A and B are shown apart, each in its own frame.
Chain A
Amino acid sequence: MAEDRRGDAGDDRSAGDPVADAFADGPAFVPYLAVGDPDYESSLAYVEALAEGGADVIELGLPFSEPIAEGPTIQNAVARALEAGMTPTRFFEFVEELDVDVPLVCMTYYNLIYQYGNEQGPRPFVEKAASAGISGFVVPDLPAEEAGPLREACDEFGLHLISIVAPTTDEGRLEKLVEVSSGYVYVQARLGVTGASSSVSDRTGESLARLSDVDLPKAVGFGISSGEQAATIVEAGADGIIVGSALVDIVAEGHEGGEPTEAVADRLEATARELKRGALDGYGRRTPAPEGTSD
């Protein structure tokens, strides 16, 4: 079963898999937004704008009241979305209503997954997510040690469980992580919580090197805010870039400045284009490894 998940090119699991396809040719741009921030309707327009701007996979944040892995930007976004009435039920309505043609990944905390439906356990949530059109999950408070039940439900309904690899993750833990992972690996570029930053941590290269034997696409996130950073990270070997806080900042500024939804959506789309272009530039800058000399 574990072998199935390693995403070996050409195995049954990845054949016709939209997440695998998203990483298949060139670097993937993976944006994140908190769903329902600042309200349901605007949020729909914002997610669609990201797809227009070139998103290859979109991570949809289902707001949880205690987002321990998030910095202030996303904490505030989550608070706005909850205030505006976002719930797991509304989240699934949102996913069903979205008019985009890219795979959607649900990013949330385990308690919401665990509570959904009448039994305590992840299965009802995963079943609902699958029918709504979700392709996978990122769950920041669920390390490999506790991921068994969710992994099982994901296998049952054909969804991915995307694991986060941190700068502190060593070889031993990497093995456990890969056991439960599928889709792609979320490579956390630096320690800490989410949030845009002005420089790219040099630990990203180290992390990517450590993951070189892992047969899943590696998407790097935490702190990316510009096309140039995206380029640097892809040049360093990432298969994709994940951008959250920098986009959420645009939503927040628009909300605080009373900007109309269309104007904010336009800025999101333009920023998405810049980030996607940066990723492509980085890919172009890679020195192709000479045949047969890769170590």
Chain B
Amino acid sequence: MSSEGERSGTGGDGGQWVAAGDGKFGRYGGQYVPEALMPAIEELTDAYERYVLNNEDGFMDEFRRRIREFGGRPTPLQRADRLSERYDTEVYLKREDLLHGGAHKLNNALGQVLLAKYMGKERIIAETGAGQHGTATAMAAAHLDMPCEVYMGERDINRQRPNVFRMKINGSEVTQVTTGRGTLKEAISETMRDWATNVEDTHYVIGSVVGPHPFPKMVRDFQAVISEEAREQAIERTGDLPDSVVACAGGGSNTMGAFHEFVGDGSVDLFAVEAGGSSLAVDEEEGVAPNSASLSTGSEGVLHGARTKLLQDHDGQIVESHSVSSGLDYAGVGPELAYLVDEGRVTPVNVDDDAAIEGFHRLSQEEGIIPALESAHALAYLHEHHEELGDVTVVNVSGRGDKDLESVIEETTRRDVPNAPDMSMFEGGL
């Protein structure tokens, strides 16, 4: 097992006390945040231990009930017939796109908003890249009657307008972040600033397995429901464990969620698919990486509260990342994922923007499932490497692609995508 303090309370662990640990995954993790936030982080660590790990006041029971009734769990593990035939392997899709809100993000958002409620917090803030985490948080906040403000980069607002509408419709405030390149990295920094100002009554619902301890563990525990279900469903369907699990990695929350219960199963290969963007090179002069492949190409450093693998220049300045999918467009990655990669337990891989767009169209046409551009990276990896994945593969479809339609029209017409339909009638937008 990766580290201490493992396993979330599945509810009723016989009252056994489970500690949150020190927040380190080997060299990674930690709590690199301003002192003003540390008391809140101590309070959160305590709440995480009591409610999440030890199911105090039946917290995890309530979480599981709500993620079932409000969220629509369990999500299916569906055999993808056409893809299985095409690749001559058994391909199973874990359908997180069918979760309420259209992505795995609700598992975490609902868990954290509920926890904030148990902690007596009065206000929710969140950052969002693709808008999926913001949407999930807005929905959870409306569901649990909490005021919510979401920070989103200017560029991502333009790429992901449907989610901006959904957040507003659910009653959240959406605040545009104009610093830097206007993507997830800047949105996280801005949300941390809000938190440092309003820390006494506000909970920051961080959107992935990133940030200071206890966030990486806590978010993983809320997302672990994906692999809990997938593992059982796979055994039920095939009589055995899968040979491999494939999931896309931005911050790494759906990856950690899809992997967690398999980490101890040595026979299952785990692949974290990063955004290769347009190139794996970094332009140090310009401070830009035309990719978001921090696991494959990054180096160790400290960002947004944790020591982890980062896209940075020689001096330690964080470089701007790029991906066709906003949800993967981040210069860092969760510390536990970085650790599992160093340990050789998780294999970091990547596919480029072009392949992701092809993957998007392929799943849409062949299976009738429009995947998020993030998830399309995992499907593109399956396409390129199915021969190395064994006989039974589970691909985590982390979200649905409705939010991406505008981007897909633009990105498809901009390049020559061999398997794309004629989109000329949409030129000029939806």
Contacts and interface: CB of A to CB of B under 8 A. Distances in A.
A112 B315 contact: yes
Contacts of B192: 68
A146 interface: yes
Chain B at the A interface: SS class: mixed
Contacts of A143: 31-35, 38
A65 B30 contact: no
Interface centre among A68, A89, A141, A143 (most CB of B within 10 A): A68
A140 B312 contact: no
Contacts of B197: 191-193
Interface residues of B, number: 37
B302 A114 contact: yes
B391 to A, nearest CB: 41
Interface string B274-313: 0000000000000100000000000011111100001010
Nearest to B32: A141
Nearest to A166: B36
A61 to B, nearest CB: 14
A144 B39 CA distance: 12
A95 B45 CA distance: 41
Contacts of B305: 141
Interface centre among B34, B38, B312 (most CB of A within 10 A): B34
B361 to A, nearest CB: 36
B40 interface: yes
Contacts, number: 121
**Size range of the chain A interface in the assembly:** 35 or more
B193 A68 contact: yes
A167 B34 CA distance: 12
Contacts of B198: 191
Contacts of A168: 35-40, 199-200
A87 interface: yes
A165 interface: yes
A116 interface: yes
Interface stretch (A153-161, A169-177, A258-266, A271-279): A169-177
A110 interface: yes
A168 B301 CA distance: 27
Given A87-B315, A111-B316, A116-B316, A165 B189 contact: no
Contact of B34 (A68, A79, A89, A173): A68
A67 B185 CA distance: 11
A65 B318 contact: yes
B317 interface: yes
Contacts of A177: 35
Given A68-B189, A114-B316, A168-B40, A191 B35 contact: no
A224 interface: no
Contacts of B31: 143, 145-146
Contacts of B40: 168
A37 B179 CA distance: 17
B185 A88 contact: no
B196 interface: yes
Given A115-B301, A141-B32, A146-B31, A66 B200 contact: no
B39 A169 contact: yes
Nearest to A142: B32
Contacts of B317: 64-65, 82, 87, 112
A166 B312 contact: no
B176 to A, nearest CB: 14
Contact of A164 (B30, B35, B303, B315): B35
Interface in A47-92: 64-71, 75, 79, 82, 87-89
Contact of B316 (A75, A112, A141, A167): A112
B33 A66 contact: no
B32 A88 contact: no
Contacts of B34: 68-69, 140-141, 143, 164, 166
Interface string B1-45: 000000000000000000000000000001111111111101000
A179 to B, nearest CB: 13
A111 B314 CA distance: 11
Contacts of B199: 168, 191
Contacts of B36: 164, 166-169, 188, 191-192
A61 B374 CA distance: 38
Interface in B149-208: 179-180, 185, 189, 192-193, 196-200
Nearest to A112: B316
A120 interface: yes
Nearest to B22: A145
B300 A120 contact: yes
Chain B CB count within 10 A is highest, among A67, A71, A145, A169, for A145
Given A87-B315, A168-B200, A193-B197, A68 B35 contact: no
Contacts of A145: 30-31, 38
A188 B312 contact: no
A112 B42 CA distance: 26
Nearest to B320: A65
A166 B180 CA distance: 28
Contacts of B179: 75, 79
A146 B32 contact: yes
A163 interface: yes
Contacts of A88: 315-316
Contacts of B303: 66, 111
Contacts of A166: 34-36, 38-39
The 9 closest A-B pairs by CB, nearest first: A115-B316, A166-B36, A192-B197, A65-B317, A111-B302, A111-B316, A168-B39, A112-B316, A65-B318
Given A87-B317, A110-B302, A191-B200, 9 more contacts: A64-B317, A68-B193, A110-B32, A111-B302, A112-B317, A143-B31, A143-B34, A143-B38, A167-B36
9 contacts: A68-B34, A68-B196, A111-B301, A116-B315, A168-B37, A168-B39, A173-B42, A191-B198, A191-B200
